[in-house]
């Protein structure tokens, strides 16, 4: 005899795995008979969520064609969750108590997945890699290949007093053109991370963002290596602003100065300062 599942209750969080192996989660807002008002949470990760994860208490906001802005993904579904859903626990819905209405119906819970979340994330990751800088310098060097760049980054040893020293010494032995190419590649990676979602800024937030802190935190993401960088981009993940690897910005300059005994004056194609990725930040401002 099969065990009868308990009826979902307000505040409960149910997680499920997408076909691309990422995990999502739905939160129950209210119950009317066999119908449930739920929201897609902000959770999107390669591992199942734990109830302490703050993303489970946050709505996932999607773009709405009618309002030309971001709206929380709230909708009605009928019946109980299928076998693919796992009850994670409960969150406090006190701050969401005023959200009771939705005219959107998504069908039967048993056969439902919030595919809109997966498609949005994958489209965002695809578009990020295609973005071009607002202003192009007339003369710039081609970037290093991915394998070459990340093999250089892997030389960084954060356990050392001077974590960039080995990398600098390695670059110093390379040609001036390769040093320029390293700076070009680094600037591009930092530019790609210069987006409101990585800064933890949504369409309604007015919280102050320190441009320097966000830049130094983006540097830290790169020092973690290719796998971590790609994961952050693909998931549009928020970066910990407490991270700081500011010294990465001076690597090419220091290597060049040691090699030539001259000042490094190369200007890269991509501006990595915070808010330089104007298309990303303007889109966010237009949605406020």
Q: Are residues 103 and 238 in the same domain?
A: no
Provide the pLDDT confidence category of residue 33 given band limits of 50, 70 and 90.
very high
Domain encompassing residue 84: 12-114
Q: Are residues 173 and 215 in the same domain?
A: yes
Q: Are residues 135 and 277 in the same domain?
A: yes
Could you tell me if residue 2 is inside a domain? Answer: no
CB-based contact 222:182 (threshold 8 Å): no
Could you give the percent of the chain with pLDDT greater than 70?
Answer: 83
Q: Are residues 81 and 181 in the same domain?
A: no
Q: Is the pLDDT of residue 137 over 50?
A: no
What pLDDT digit, counting tens, does each position of 160-219 carry?
889 999 999 999 999 999 999 999 999 999 999 999 989 988 655 556 789 999 999 999
Q: Is the pLDDT of residue 15 over 70?
A: yes
CB-based contact 71:39 (threshold 8 Å): no
Could you tell me if residue 25 is inside a domain? Answer: yes
Spell out the alpha helix ranges (H) of the chain: 115-128, 146-153, 165-172, 176-192, 196-199, 211-223, 226-235, 251-260, 278-286
What pLDDT digit, counting tens, does each position of 228-284 carry?
998 888 888 889 999 999 999 999 999 999 999 999 988 888 889 999 988 888 765
What is the pLDDT, as a whole number, of residue 60?
Answer: 84
Could you tell me if residue 83 is inside a domain? Answer: yes
Q: For residues 79 and 208, what is the distance between their CA atoms, to the nearest angstrom?
A: 43
Could you tell me if residue 120 is inside a domain? Answer: no
Residues 6+ apart with CB under 8 A from 268: 137, 140, 183, 184, 186, 187, 188
What pLDDT digit, counting tens, does each position of 48-96 carry?
999 988 888 888 877 666 655 677 889 999 999 999 999 999 988 775 5
What pLDDT digit, counting tens, does each position of 209-223 carry?
899 999 999 999 999
- Per 3-state DSSP, the chain is made up of helix, strand and coil in percentages (nearest 5) of 40, 15, 45
Nearest to 284 by CA among 61, 127, 41, 95: 61
Could you tell me if residue 121 is inside a domain? Answer: no
Provide the pLDDT confidence category of residue 38 given band limits of 50, 70 and 90.
very high
Could you tell me if residue 102 is inside a domain? Answer: yes
Q: How many domains does the chain have?
A: 2
- Out of 114, 135, 151, pick the residue that ends a domain: 114
Q: Are residues 76 and 165 in the same domain?
A: no
- Out of 71, 91, 114, pick the residue that ends a domain: 114
- Out of 114, 139, 167, pick the residue that ends a domain: 114
Q: Are residues 85 and 156 in the same domain?
A: no
Q: Are residues 66 and 169 in the same domain?
A: no
- Name the DSSP letter for residue 31: E
Mean pLDDT of 21-47: 91
Written as six digits, the tokens of 34 are 């066999």
Q: Are residues 97 and 233 in the same domain?
A: no
Written as six digits, the tokens of 51 are 């109830």
Could you tell me if residue 7 is inside a domain? Answer: no
Could you tell me if residue 81 is inside a domain? Answer: yes
């Amino acid at each position: 005899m099969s065990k009868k599942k308990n009826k979902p209750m307000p505040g409960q969080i149910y997680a499920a795995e997408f076909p691309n192996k990422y995990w999502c989660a739905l939160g129950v807002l209210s119950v009317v008979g066999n119908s449930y008002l739920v929201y897609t949470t902000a959770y999107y990760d390669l591992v199942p969520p734990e109830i302490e994860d703050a993303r489970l208490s946050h709505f996932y906001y999607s773009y709405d064609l009618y309002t030309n802005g971001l709206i929380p993904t709230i909708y009605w579904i009928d019946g109980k969750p299928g076998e693919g859903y796992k009850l994670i626990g409960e969150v406090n819905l006190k701050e969401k108590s005023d959200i009771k209405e939705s005219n959107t119906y998504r069908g039967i819970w048993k056969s439902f997945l919030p595919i809109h979340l997966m498609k949005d994330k994958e489209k965002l990751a695809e578009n990020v890699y295609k973005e071009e800088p607002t202003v192009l310098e007339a003369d710039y060097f081609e970037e290093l290949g991915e394998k070459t760049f990340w093999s250089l980054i892997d030389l960084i040893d954060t356990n050392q007093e001077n974590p960039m020293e080995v990398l600098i010494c390695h670059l110093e032995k390379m040609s001036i053109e390769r040093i320029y190419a390293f700076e070009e590649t680094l600037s591009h990676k930092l530019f790609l991370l210069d987006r409101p979602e990585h800064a933890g800024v949504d369409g309604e937030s007015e919280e102050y963002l320190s441009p320097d802190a966000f830049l130094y935190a983006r540097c830290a993401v790169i020092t973690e290596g290719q796998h971590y960088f790609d994961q952050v981009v693909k998931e549009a993940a928020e970066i910990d602003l407490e991270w700081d690897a500011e010294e990465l910005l001076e690597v090419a300059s220091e290597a060049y100065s040691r090699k030539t005994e001259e000042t490094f004056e190369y200007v890269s194609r991509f501006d990595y300062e915070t808010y330089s990725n104007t298309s990303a930040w303007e889109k966010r401002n237009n949605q406020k």
